[in-house]
Amino acid sequence: MKAVHFGAGNIGRGFVGLILHNAGYEVVFADVNAELIDALAATPSYEVREVGVGATTSTVDHYRALNSATHEAEVVAEIATASVVTTAVGPNILRFVAPLIAAALAQRDPALPRLAVMACENAINATDLLQAEVDKALADPAFAHRAVFANTAVDRIVPGQAPGAGLDVTVESFFEWAIEAPPFGDEAPVIPEAHFVDDLAPYIERKLFTVNTGHATTAYFGFLAGASSIAEAIGIPEVAEQVRAVLGETKALLVAKHDFDPAVQQAYLETNLQRFANPELADIVERVGRQPLRKLGRHERFIGPAAELAERGLPVDALLRAVGAALRFDVPDDPQSVELQELLSRAGAAAFVREVTGVPDGHPLFERLVAVVAAEQSRRA
Ligand SMILES: NC(=O)c1ccc[n+]([C@@H]2O[C@H](COP(=O)([O-])OP(=O)(O)OC[C@H]3O[C@@H](n4cnc5c(N)ncnc54)[C@H](O)[C@@H]3O)[C@@H](O)[C@H]2O)c1
Ligand SMILES: O=P(O)(O)OC[C@@H](O)[C@@H](O)[C@H](O)[C@H](O)CO
């Protein structure tokens, strides 16, 4: 069994690659980072070291590595004969990976079982996005039947790695991989550490609107409080209070929309607050807050739940405060932070809301978002 995995970064090596390796796949890592791919190709194994409750260390071996920028044809040929393709490259990068999958489907022997394609990104239905890009790139729409596309929700905090760590990855011990089962029928790939679910929506929304909403809130308020790590940030009572308030609001949505037991959701969010506080995870606020424009998108961790709460007439004050904190994420090394700051200095508040959040005029959240942006602009004036 062979799996091609795009993105040999933190979650690629520390989670997806590991779980596929444990499932018995030969993993072919494909990445555009030449230094990383050369190191992987030259090294027979690397270690995934867990920190936290029940931590263990695993060795990943029996893999290969290809540079998908310089060896595109080889990557395409690998996909053409693989059982599984996964990605962990970031939602904005899926469109660059899609043409390679489309080319591989054209080459694929129609007698082979269908290729299982799963995007492991922090976004609602990221695989649908990838599928749409693959469809656009297909030479013949009939080749689409050679693949099955399934959405997934992946959860494991994998921070940036310390300089000098090489290929080894330090990760938290907690992990969860939920995959939607229906697209596969009775042909689901064998991945024992993942769980296949009939309806992914409650899983991905619970994950994104609890783990990632809480994480990003910790990062943005932590950044303002001068914290460098997420553990340090959540240890600041005023930051923790903002995070709890935000998670109280997203809990109300998750309970109302997906019928979660409130006590179970409360336990889930408490577990996540403990995950953020793990002092052994050297996770910095700049990583967790990275790409703030993406994080302020319409279906993302702040605006997604806030819009639905507002539509239901439920409170969104804490989420709006978190959006206000996100606007102050000023990190010169993060191109989206620079763009955000530049946009705030030149666009009107309403135009900013339309462009960045995608919330339309007349939506119950629109004027409230305009007020948050306008308040930030006057604070700077
Ligand atoms: N790190 C985490 O805790 C975590 C957890 C769950 C999900 N995720 C999601 O996984 C994705 C990756 O996150 P990460 O933290 O591993 O980031 P990362 O930056 O460590 O890794 C991304 C990798 O993708 C590679 N890449 C970029 N463009 C590429 C292309 N065109 N083709 C192939 N490879 C390409 C980069 O070189 C890099 O090695 C994101 O969507 C993130 O939201 C991350
Ligand atoms: O990867 P992002 O930028 O969408 O979000 C940053 C972190 O919140 C994220 O990577 C978490 O560590 C991860 O989602 C935990 O499962």
CA distance 107 to 125: 26
Consult the annotation and say whether 216 binds a ligand.
no
The CA distance from 316 to 365, in Å, is: 9
Is the pTM higher than 0.95? The answer reads yes
Domain ranges of the chain: 2-199, 202-380
Question: Please, are residues 141 and 227 in contact by the beta-carbon 8 Å criterion?
Answer: no
Q: What is the ipTM of this complex?
A: 0.99
SS3 state of residue 227: coil
Between the CA of 88 and the centroid of ligand 2 the distance, in Å, is 11
6 three-state secondary structure: strand
Q: From the first residue on, what is the mean pLDDT of each consecutive set of 10 residues in the chain (381 residues)?
A: 98 98 98 98 98 95 98 98 98 98 98 98 97 98 98 98 93 97 96 97 97 98 98 98 98 97 98 96 97 98 98 98 98 98 97 98 98 97 87
A 10 A CB-CB count for 140 gives: 9
**Range list of H helices, the chain:** 10-11, 17-22, 34-42, 72-80, 94-107, 126-137, 201-206, 213-224, 230-234, 237-258, 262-276, 285-288, 292-295, 303-311, 317-326, 335-346, 349-352, 366-380
Please give all residues whose beta carbon lies within 6 A of any atom in ligand 1, as ranges.
6-12, 30-33, 36, 68, 88-91, 93, 96-97, 121-122, 154, 156-158
Q: How far is the CA of 270 from the centre of ligand 1 (A)?
A: 27
Q: What is the 3-state secondary structure (H, E, C) of 24-78?
A: CCEEEEEECCHHHHHHHHHCCCEEEEEECCCCCEEEECCEEEEECCCCHHHHHHH
Fold type of domain 2-199: Rossmann fold (3.40.50)
Neighbours of 359 (CB within 10 A): 21
**Amino acid 220: pLDDT:** 99
pLDDT at 381: 87
Q: Give, for ligand 1, the residue of 13, 19, 31, 66 to mutate: max count of ligand atoms closer than 8 Å to Cβ.
A: 31
- AA identity, residue 368: R
In whole angstroms, give the CA distance from residue 381 to residue 248. Answer: 33
CA of 112 to the centre of ligand 1 (A): 29
Q: Is CATH 3.40.50.300 correct for 202-380?
A: no
